[in-house]
Structure 1
Amino acid sequence: MSRLVVLDTETTGLSAEGGDRIIELGCVELVNRKITGNNLHLYFNPGRDSHPDALRVHGLTTEFLSDKPKFEAMVQDILAYLQGAELIIHNAPFDVGFLNKEFSLLGLPPLTHYVEGITDSLAMAKEMFPGKRNSLDALCSRLDVDNSGRTLHGALLDAELLADVYINMTRGQNALVMPEDDESPQEQETSDALPVLDLRAMVLPVLKANEQELAAHDAVLADLDKSSGGKTIWRIGKDAAQAVT
């Protein structure tokens, strides 16, 4: 079973080392490249105001966050959810830096200690679309992902959009879909685990036609040549070759 978690954060500002904190975490789970609906979405009280520029981006006011839990109160739930997953993050160094800072304040190991790996979808996009804008909005537009509901940045919404973008970039699928209710887990697993055959190592036998088959072939060609008034391309080519010799 392949478990991916698409992750995004919103923060009070741009500098984790300068004292900015995470205020929102959004995670979308994909199992065998399908959205499961087992998402994680949390708001946190950072104990400080957001920078005005950051506030204009996410719109999460100090008043709204004042009754939300501290990061430390939810950290074990977060680690349990992320445990063993492969993370997909757009501009991963930013989010990972903030998460690592939150962990270090609690005396915990860095994020890589808990997950299988981290893929930066921004780095992927730069390789796929060099010289082009590769923000999440730009990728949504380029890959026909509907982001019309994204008036402000939100961690869960952005993670949902990034999940769709990631699937498009890695397989060309136009949209992610929830598994059908009437499709059993066994059927889902079967449909996702189609065998991939490498035909390059196979040696195919060459079956030569026998005399009867060759004669039948010549008869068909003769009939076609007759119906075209002797203008079939193989007859013209043969006559030209004979004339040269």
Structure 2
Amino acid sequence: MATRQIILDTETTGLRHEDGNRILEIAAVEMIDRKLSAPDRHLHCYINPERDSEEGALNVHGLTTEFLADKPKFADIVDGFLNFVRGSELIIHNAPFDVGFLNMELERLGRGKITDYVSSIIDTLRDAKDMFPGKRNSLDALCDRFEIDRSGRTLHGALIDCELLAEVYLAMTRGQDSLLIDFAGGEQTSGADGAPRRQRKPLIVAALSDAEQSEHEAYLDGLDKAVKGQCLWRAINAPAGEAA
């Protein structure tokens, strides 16, 4: 069965929904089996939040009260949004923030919580902190780390942030795929518990040619000379008596 994931982002009138702030933009980008769907399978809408944005938030997203005045309210788009994400796995950067706002909007309408409609939620910020402890793990920082072009991102926008996050998520999880052998390239067997197992192909070990070995030794000779006979690799490879 195909795996359906939705990369989701929101923009809001402020940082805390507890202070009465509201969602004013939602974007949701569909990904099936780690392949992004065509743009017509994405969801993107601006929302009239029925209040002004805080100054700090307005400086981030640039969506003015005047621009949003004729946009639909959350109640007008909630059915289409829930139908779009229903049953999927959500991928969100700093998920507690967006989930908190979504739950607030849904509860205002008596529609429960977002977890009532989706199978699970992945927080890429939490995963990035586990993967890169002690480093900056904002979306911009992760784009730079994975060499993802973000030159088109001058202001925060839900749709472009979703598209960038999709690339970041694929880059962060690419190693998981490399550990698996495609069934087309290997045999499927069953383990003792009856569960399917993928049969790995034998590893191919490529030995150095004589020319490559000579070039390697010459490099080590130069390195050893530069550090006045203290080359660690020479010490490791030397016979026990000579190394002592």
The structure whose RCO (Cα within 8 Å, separation 6+) is larger is 1
Could you list the runs of 4 or more consecutive aligned residues of structure 1 that deviate by over 3 angstroms after TM superposition?
none
Among 171, 174, 191, the alignment partner of 2:174 is: 171
In structure 2, the residue matched to 1:17 is 18
Query: Aligned partners of 1:199, 1:40: CA distance in 2, in Å?
Result: 40
Among 60, 85, 102, the alignment partner of 1:57 is: 60
Query: Aligned partners of 2:175, 2:48: CA distance in 1, in Å?
Result: 39
Query: Aligned partners of 1:9, 1:172: CA distance in 2, in Å?
Result: 28
* TM-score under structure 1 length normalisation: 0.72
* TM-score under structure 2 length normalisation: 0.72
What aligned pairs does 1:52-201 form with structure 2 within 5 A after superposition? Answer: 52-171=55-174, 197-199=198-200
Higher mean C-alpha deviation, range 163-172 or range 52-61: 163-172
- 1:187-236 residue CA offsets vs partner (Å, 9 max, x unmatched): xxx98xx9672459x9xxxxxxxxxxxxxxxxxxxxxxxxxxxxxxxxxx
Secondary structure of the structure 2 residue equivalent to 1:133 = coil
Query: Aligned partners of 1:154, 1:171: CA distance in 2, in Å?
Result: 26
Secondary structure of the structure 1 residue equivalent to 2:107 = helix
Query: Aligned partners of 2:153, 2:106: CA distance in 1, in Å?
Result: 29
Gaps of 5+ in 2: 177-182, 189-196, 203-244
Letter matched to residue 35 of structure 2: K
In structure 1, the residue matched to 2:31 is 30
Gaps of 5+ in 1: 174-189, 203-245
Considering only CA atoms, is the larger Rg found in Structure 1 or Structure 2?
A: 1
**1:43 correspondence with 2:43:** no
Secondary structure of the structure 2 residue equivalent to 1:17 = helix
Q: What is the percent sequence identity of the aligned residues?
A: 58
Query: Aligned partners of 1:30, 1:123: CA distance in 2, in Å?
Result: 21
